[in-house]
Amino acid sequence: MPESITEWNFNAFAHTKDLKSGTLSEKVVTKKKLMVNSFAPRFFREGDKIIFSTKVTNISGSDLQVKTTLVLTDALTGKDLNSVCGVSSVALTKSIKKDKSEPFMWEIKIPEGVYAITYRIVAQGGEHSDGEEMTIPVLSNRMLVTESQPLHIKGKGEKKFTFEKLTRSGSSSTLAHHRVTLEFTSHPVWYAIQALPYMMEFPYECSEQTFNRLYANTLAHHIVESHPRIKNVFEIWSKQQPNALLSNLEKNQELKEVILQETPWVMDAKNESERKQRIALLFDFNRMANEKQRTVQKLIRMQSPNGGWPWFEGGPDNRFITQYIVTGFGKLHKTGITDNHHSLTSALQKAIVYLDERILEDYQYLLRYKVDLTKKQIGYHQIQYLYARSFFNHVELNARHKEAWKYYMQQAQTYWNTESMFMKAMIAISLHRNTDKSTPKLILQSLKENAIRHDELGMYWKQNQAMYWYEAPIEMQALMIEAFAEIEGDVSIVDDLKLWLLKNKQTNDWKTTKATADACYALLINGSNWLTETELAVIELGDITVNPNQKTDIQQESGTGYIKTSWSGKDIKPGMGHITVKKNTEGPAWGAVYWQYFENLDKITSASTQIKISKKLFKQEHSDRGPVIKPVTDKTVLLPGDKIKVRIELSTDRHLEYVHMKDMRASAFEPENVFSGYKWQDGFGYYEATKDAATHIFIEYLPRGTYVFEYPVRVTHEGIFSNGITTLQCMYAPEFSSHSEGILVKTGK
C-alpha cells in the first residue's frame, strides 16, 4: 500500500455454504507521524552527477528536530559507497514545523564499475522515525555501438568505398574496438529464388484467392523446372546450409540493436522461414499436377453461367475479378505454360466473351446518353480489359464487340498521358500487341523521362507506392519489366528495372504471393541471366584481401555466394575503412562492413547510411500565445518540473520494413507517456514501448521520406546527466542503420 496521506475505502464480503452473508466497510488512512518520501530515478548512469532528494513530512502534531541519514551501498557486495559517491555529509538535521514538509538533498556522483546501488534513508525526530530502502540499477556510460558501411556494385568492375568513421577511429582515447564484420552476397538474385511461393489453402475460398494459388504455384513450378540448378542448390540449402532458409529477421542477431524476441515481429520471422522451406513442395511434380487439376476444377465450378467469376461462389459475377483471372491465365499462356484441358479452354472462352460484353455495355452507355465521345471516357476497368484481351488476340471479336474495342483502343492512344505509371505500361503493351508501334514507344519515352535512375537502386518511379491495385509497387515494377522487355528489348534498362526489384527484396519481405511470383518471373525470365554466374566478388579492406574463390576457410552459401568473416580487438586497424569491391561477372552484388566498438555515450558522434537520424531537445514554456518550445542549449536553465519535448527527425531514401528505433533517456527525465501502444502518424502506424531507460519504436513499414517523432518528458532531478543516443536499424537488412550524437544534459541552477 502506498505510504501517502490518503484515505482508502476498505470493503469486505463473506458468505457461508448456506448463503448467509455479511459485509464490512471501513476507512483506512495510510500515514505515519513522520514520513520519508524519496524521488529516486528509475536508474543511474556511470559518471552522472545528481542531486538526490527526499521529502520528510511531520504530522506528529508538534514541531520536530529531524535528523536524516543517507547510506549508499554496493547492492552486490554490501560495500559502503558514501565516500566513493562523494557524499560529504551523510546526516543532515533540520527543524520541521508541524504539518509541514522539508526537503533533504545530497549531491552524488555515480562511480564506474558498480552495477547497482542500494540507498537507505532514515529520518528520526523525537520518538518518531521512518525509513526507505531501494536498489537502483547503474547503467554503463559506455555503449557497444554498431556502425555500418553498405557495399553495392551494379555489375562487372571495381568500386571503392570509404568507411569514414572507421578510418578516423584512432583519434579517440576512450574508444575500444570490439569487432569488424564483413558480409557480402555476390549473387543476390538467389534471394528471389528463396522467396518463390508455394501457397497453401487460403482461409477464404474466394475466386481471386483460388486463382492466385493456381497462378503462383504454377509459375513458381515452371521457374524451377526451367532452371535445373535451382533444385540442386535447394538440396544443399536444406541438408547442409539450413540457415539459408531462415528469415532475414532471424539472421545476424549479433549485429542488431535489439534481439528478435524483443520485437513484435517474431511471428513474421517464423512465417517467412516457413514460406522458404515450402519451396521443396515445388519439386514434387505429382503433387503439383494433382493440386493444379483440383484448383482448375474448382475455378470452373465457381464460374457463373454468363462467363463471369463471382468474388465468392454463388455470388453475382464480378467484372474486376474476371478481368484479373483472365489476365493471369494470359500471362501463363504467354510464358508457354499451357493447359489443353478442354473444360478450362471453354471456361476461358466464356470469360473472354463475358468481358467483351461488359466493354460493349460501357460503349453503349456512352451512346445512349450522348456523351462527347472525343473527350476522355476511358478508365481503369477499360484499360485492364485492353491489357487482358491483348493476351488473347487469337480469339476473334465479333462485329458488335469490335466497335467498342476499337473505340477504347483509340481512347488509350489519345489519353495515355493522363494515366498513372501502371496504366501507361498496360496501355503500351496492349497497343504494341495490336500493331501500333509508334504510341508504345512514346509511352516508354515518357516513362523513362519520369523514371529515377540510381546507381545503387536501379531504375524506378517515385510513384512506386501502393494504395490501390493499380499502384502495387512490386506488380508495377514487374509490369514495367514486361513492357520494356517486350517493346524495346533494351537489356540495360531491363537489368536496371530488375535491380530495383532486388534492392526492394533486400529491405522488404514480399508477403503477397502473386506479387512474388510476378517478381520472380520478371527477374529470371527477362534481361540478363544472372542465375548462371558462380564466381564470387573479391573484397579488400585496407591491406587485407578477402577472396572466397581461393580461401577455403571462408564458408560460402550455395547459390547466393553469401560469405561472412570478422576481425576482433587488436586486429582492427583504421586502414580497414578503405574498402574495394572487385567483380568479374555480370549482375548486382551487395553486402556491408559492420564496425562495433565501445565508447562513452557523450563522445559518440552521429553516423548515417542511407538512413539519417537526429535528436533535439526543446523546453516547453507558456506564453500569452499559448505553449511555445525553445531549443535546449548550454545556456538553457532546466529545473525539476519543466516539460521537455524530445524531437527525433529521420529520413530514408528507400522503403524499409521492420524498423526498430531506440531513444535513450537521461535518468533525470521521466516520460509522461508510460503506456505502450500502437500509434498513427503521417499515414503510417508504429508501436511505441516505454521502458525504464529508453523509448522503443517499432515500425513495420516505413515509406521513403522524412519523418518527425516527438514525445514529452519531465525533469525530475538536478545535476549533470548523459542523455544517450538514438539508434535506428532495419531489422530485415541491418546494414541500413543510423544513430544520433551523444548529448550531455545539465539541470538545476
Tally of CB atoms within 10 A around 406? 13
Tell me what percent of the residues of the chain surpass a pLDDT of 70. 90
Q: Which domains does the chain have, with CATH numbers?
A: 34-139 (2.60.40.10), 604-749 (2.60.40.2110)
For range 377-393, the mean pLDDT: 95
Cα–Cα distance between 71 and 90 in angstroms, integer? 7
What does the mean pLDDT of the chain come to?
86
Q: What's the pLDDT score for residue 260?
A: 47
Q: What's the pLDDT score for residue 343?
A: 80
- Residue 277 pLDDT > 80, yes or no? no
Q: What's the pLDDT score for residue 716?
A: 93
305 in helix, strand or coil? coil
Cα–Cα distance between 725 and 114 in angstroms, integer? 22
Task: Please state the separation of Cα 552 from the chain's center in Å.
Answer: 35
The string of DSSP codes covering 147-191 is EEEEEEE-SSEEEEEE-HHHHTGGG-SS-EEEEEEEEEES-THHH
| Pair 504, 511: CB distance under 8 Å | no
pTM: 0.73
Q: What's the pLDDT score for residue 262?
A: 47
Cα–Cα distance between 675 and 2 in angstroms, integer? 21
- Bridge partners of 579, per DSSP, are 161, 541
Q: Quick one: 307 exposed, middle or buried, by C-beta within 10 A (0-12, 13-18, 19+)?
A: buried
Q: CB within 8 A of 621, min separation 6: which ones?
A: 627, 628, 629, 630
**H-helix or E-strand spanning residue 91:** strand 91-96
For range 567-577, the mean pLDDT: 92
Q: What's the pLDDT score for residue 189?
A: 84
Give the tens place of pLDDT for each residue, 162-214.
Answer: 999 999 988 888 899 999 999 999 988 887 777 665 555 555 578 888 888 78
What's the pLDDT band for 466 if we cut at 50, 70, 90? very low
Give the tens place of pLDDT for each residue, 708-728.
Answer: 999 999 999 999 999 989 999
Rg (CA), the chain: 34
Residue in the structure block whose three cell numbers are 522461414:
273
CA distances from 392 to 395, 398, 481 (A): 6, 14, 20
Grid cell locating 731: 531489422
Cα–Cα distance between 505 and 735 in angstroms, integer? 14
Residue in the structure block whose three cell numbers are 508541524:
98
Among 27-36, 176-185, 564-573, 644-653, where is mean pLDDT lowest? 27-36
The string of DSSP codes covering 101-155 is EEEEEEEEEPPSS-SEEEEEEEEEETTEEEEEEEEEEEE-SEEEEEEEEEEEE-S
Give the tens place of pLDDT for each residue, 408-460.
Answer: 999 999 999 999 888 999 999 999 999 899 999 999 999 999 999 988 889 99
Name the residue among 247, 245, 305 with its Cα closest to residue 280. 245
| Pair 661, 650: CB distance under 8 Å | yes
Q: What's the pLDDT score for residue 244?
A: 66
| Pair 363, 404: CB distance under 8 Å | yes
Cα–Cα distance between 347 and 203 in angstroms, integer? 25
- Residue 282 pLDDT > 80, yes or no? no
Q: CB within 8 A of 228, min separation 6: which ones?
A: none
Count CA atoms closer than 13 A to 446's CA, side-chain side.
Answer: 18
Q: CB within 8 A of 322, min separation 6: which ones?
A: 307, 308, 309, 351, 354, 355
- Residue 25 pLDDT > 80, yes or no? yes
Grid cell locating 464: 512506386
What's the pLDDT band for 658 if we cut at 50, 70, 90? confident
